[in-house]
Amino acid sequence: MTRAAPDGEALYATLRDAIAAHVANHRSLRLVGIHSGGAWIAARLQRDLGLEGDAGLLDISFYRDDFNRIGLHGQVKPTEIDFTVAGAEILLVDDVLYTGRTLRGALNVLFDFGRPARVDLAVLIDRQTPDGDARELPIAARWAGARLVLDRASEFVLSEKDGRFDVAIAASIRTGA
């Protein structure tokens, strides 16, 4: 089932506006982006919402649940969290929420740093499949740029060029995670 790719910039603007009020009311909130797409989005949100410092970055390579099947997956990027996680209010940022496994890994990383006071999730695309069964774990996004339906044979690919986001639809290379 093909569809036209969504407008990345439009999605970003919607997301930014959706969380702006909450961020303004919770000055101690910390943004943490999940590599790679979430990291780009978190960095831009950090600037656009006038937050001090840098957004945290998180790599889940060592926390994936499919290590026993496929081993270490690709390039490991740095995890940089320059605040104390214990007791913090954290907003995790990612590009696409699909099965929820990436988010579970991200939560595990955070908890190895310390016990946060609360963790919320903001995503550019909250993805569902035609059969309504996209989520494989009970995970939900509190804010999303859009809720979109896409068949299992395809996937959304976020890219960043000259500071602008672009979303493409490509054939899925998933190994079934």
Partner 1 sequence: MFNPQLDNAGRLRHLLSIDGLPRALILHILDTAAGFAGLVDPRREVKKLPLLRGRTVFNLFFENSTRTRTTFEIAAARLSADVINLNVSVSSTNKGESLLDTIDNLSAMHADIFVVRHAQSGAPYLIAKHLDRTPGSNIHVVNAGDGRHAHPTQGLLDAYTIRHYKKDFTQIRVAIVGDVLHSRVARSAIHALTTLGVPEVRVIGPRTLLPTGLEQMGVSVFTDMKKGLAGVDVVMMLRLQNERMNGALLPSAGEYFKSYGLTAEKLALAAPDAIVMHPGPMNRGVEIESSVADGSQSVILPQVTFGIAVRMAVMSILAGS
Q: Which residues contact partner 1 by CB under 8 A?
A: 59, 61-63, 67-68, 70-72, 75-86, 108, 111-114
Q: Please, which residue, 86 or 140, has the CB nearer to partner 1?
A: 86
Least distance to partner 1, CB of residue 12, Å: 29
> Which residue bears the tokens 């290590």?
67
Q: Please, which residue, 59 or 94, has the CB nearer to partner 1?
A: 59
Helix (H) or strand (E) holding 111: helix 101-113
Least distance to partner 1, CB of residue 84, Å: 6
Distance, in Å, from the CA atom of 128 to the CA atom of 131, rounded to the nearest integer, reads 8
Least distance to partner 1, CB of residue 95, Å: 21
Whole-number Cα distances in Å, 9 to 12, 13, 44: 5, 6, 12
Q: Please, which residue, 109 or 122, has the CB nearer to partner 1?
A: 109
With contact defined as beta carbons under 8 Å apart, do 96 and 123 qualify? yes
Q: Please, which residue, 17 or 112, has the CB nearer to partner 1?
A: 112
- C-alpha radius of gyration, the chain, whole number: 16
Least distance to partner 1, CB of residue 33, Å: 16
